[in-house]
């Protein structure tokens, strides 16, 4: 059994502008182009405002607002609720500011249970339309697992998938469980019940059209095409990079007894590699095992039925929820990797440790120099001194081999991480 594809004439692809005075509440889900939309809206604040649209606050997204309103901790790994002032200021703007439309966007909202959704409904006293974006489930699963790896979680993909499919046809998303049904409700149903099905739209993004999300929101907000800059954000990693960081996080846990600090590991090593390491055509992209397409199709049927039962508007084709994407066996970490992977990650860790107040500049440069020594690029005391004075994260100096054993690369990165922890 599969999700039945609609006839082309029955698929809604364009929408009219919502009534003036509406606040559009974009609740995610995660890994559906949310970061790209948020970066675009934040970068287009003035242009949107000129068109009558308010994107409230001063940050790129409304994660802090959502965490405060939902009563969540400041961060998932902390205790104690997010402060009330994270939400009160934006709520005042939404209620009091004159504008044609407002846009609030945070995928954190999609993780709420029915009780938390009721709290959001009570706070949104203004006319509100909820928008949920979805994408093909196999790709969504793959991206969610990779995000877990970025955050220093180290469960292999197959083990992570075992949990994701443990309660089929209900789909679990370890690290971002938006499809949970533990309180007897489902993702679409709890938001439609709270705000009314007439005030909710589910957008199934076209997997072949990267501009789809921007056009839908431009239409909903009554904006001309091109108002939102086409941004590609939250870039993924190659299969080699992903497995490298997964093994690094696992080794840090085994050697220290603690999970790697997310703000250091993700904010330093991972983000720097994504931003500064050139994409390599010789490194394969991530693939989903064949079983993912079968199980995702089962989950897609359930989710499609829940959407149709809720009576909300659907933009896009529900059958796309089961689109297979890139299928193949997981790629193991090769015996050798390029040295720039280790050096850029190590340099990013050192720089981030300075930003976090863990190290002073001198210690950070010395740690990076030790990483270069580890991979064989500093052979004299003078080489080390030159590296210790070089800007962070820095490029590979002359003499560093292009490819090095993966074990050597892992040791270099882990050495900088553990050194930063030891010296802080």
Class of domain 8-235+290-322 (CATH, top level): alpha beta
Quote the CA–CA distance of 285 and 13 in Å, as a whole number: 30
DSSP state of 73: B
Task: Please name which of 185, 164, 148, 201 lies closest in space to residue 313, comparing C-alpha atoms.
Answer: 201
pLDDT in tens, the chain (424 residues): 556 555 555 677 789 999 999 999 999 999 999 999 999 999 999 999 999 999 999 999 999 999 999 999 998 878 889 999 999 999 999 999 999 999 999 999 999 999 999 999 999 999 999 999 999 999 999 999 999 999 999 999 999 999 999 999 999 988 888 999 988 999 999 999 999 999 999 999 998 899 999 999 999 999 999 999 998 876 789 999 999 999 999 999 999 999 999 999 999 999 999 999 999 999 999 999 999 999 999 999 999 999 999 999 999 999 999 998 889 888 899 999 999 999 999 999 999 999 999 999 999 888 888 887 777 654 544 554 555 455 556 555 666 788 999 999 999 999 999 999 999 8
DSSP state of 80: S
Looking only at the bridges linking them, the beta strands covering 53-54 and 313-315 are unpaired
CA distances in angstroms from 238 to 175, 281, 296, 344, 395, listed in the order given: 20, 9, 22, 15, 20
Kindly provide the b/e burial profile for residues 330-361, where b requires at least 16 CB atoms within 10 angstroms of the residue's own CB: bbebeeebbbbbbbbbbbbbbbbbbeeebbee
DSSP-assigned letters across all residues of 132-177? EEE--HHHHHHHHHHHHHHTT----HHHHHHHHTTTTTS---TTS-
- The rounded Cα 332 to chain-centroid distance in angstroms is 23
DSSP state of 75: S
Quote the CA–CA distance of 136 and 142 in Å, as a whole number: 10
Three-state DSSP string of 354-413: HHCCCCCHHHHHHHHHHHHHHCCCCCCHHHHHHHHHCCCCCCCCCCCCCEEEHHHHHHHH
DSSP-assigned letters across all residues of 178-241? TT--TTS--HHHHHHHHH-GGGEEEEE--TT-TTHHHHHHHHHTT--TTSS-----S----HHH
CA atoms within 13 A on the CB side of 52: 16
Task: Please name which of 189, 192, 196, 195 lies closest in space to residue 303, comparing C-alpha atoms.
Answer: 189
**What are the sequence ranges of the domains in the chain?**
8-235+290-322, 239-284+334-423
């Amino acid at each position: 059994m599969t999700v039945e594809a609609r006839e082309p004439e029955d698929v809604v692809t364009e929408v009219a502008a919502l009534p003036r005075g509406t606040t559009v509440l974009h609740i995610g889900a995660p890994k559906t182009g949310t970061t790209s939309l948020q970066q675009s809206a934040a970068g287009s604040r003035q242009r949107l405002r000129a068109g009558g649209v308010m994107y409230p606050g001063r940050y790129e997204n409304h994660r802090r607002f959502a965490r405060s309103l939902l009563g969540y901790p400041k961060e998932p790994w902390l205790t104690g609720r997010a402060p009330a002032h994270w939400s009160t200021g934006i709520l005042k703007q939404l209620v009091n500011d004159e504008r044609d439309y407002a846009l609030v966007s945070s995928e954190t909202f999609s993780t709420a249970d029915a009780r938390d959704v009721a709290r959001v409904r009570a706070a949104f006293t203004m006319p509100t339309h909820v928008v949920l974006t979805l994408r093909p489930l196999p790709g969504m699963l793959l991206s969610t697992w990779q995000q877990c790896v970025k955050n220093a979680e180290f469960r292999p993909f197959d083990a992570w998938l075992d949990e994701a499919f443990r309660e089929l046809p209900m789909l679990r998303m370890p690290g971002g469980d938006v499809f949970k049904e533990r309180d007897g409700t489902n993702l679409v149903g709890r938001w439609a019940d709270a705000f009314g099905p007439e005030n909710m739209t589910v957008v199934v993004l076209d997997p072949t059209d990267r501009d789809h999300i921007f056009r839908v929101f431009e239409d909903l907000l009554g904006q001309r095409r091109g108002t939102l800059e086409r941004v590609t954000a939250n870039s993924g990693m190659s299969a080699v990079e992903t497995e490298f960081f997964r093994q690094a996080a696992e080794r840090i846990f085994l050697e220290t007894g603690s999970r790697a600090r997310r703000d250091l590991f993700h904010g330093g090593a991972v983000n720097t590699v994504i931003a500064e390491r050139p994409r390599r055509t010789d490194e394969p992209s991530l693939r989903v095992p064949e079983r993912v397409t079968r199980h995702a199709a089962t989950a897609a049927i359930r989710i499609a039925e829940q959407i149709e039962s809720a009576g909300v508007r659907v933009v896009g084709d529900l059958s796309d929820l089961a689109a297979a994407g890139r299928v193949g066996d997981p790629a193991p970490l090769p015996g050798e990797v390029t040295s720039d992977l280790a050096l850029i990650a190590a340099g990013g860790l050192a720089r981030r440790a300075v930003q976090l107040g863990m190290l002073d500049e001198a210690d950070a440069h010395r740690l990076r120099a030790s990483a270069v020594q580890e991979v064989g690029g500093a052979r004299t005391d003078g080489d080390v001194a030159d590296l210790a004075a070089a800007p962070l994260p820095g490029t590979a100096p002359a003499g560093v081999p292009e490819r090095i054993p993966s074990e050597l690369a892992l040791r270099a990165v882990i050495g900088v991480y553990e050194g930063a922890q030891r010296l802080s």
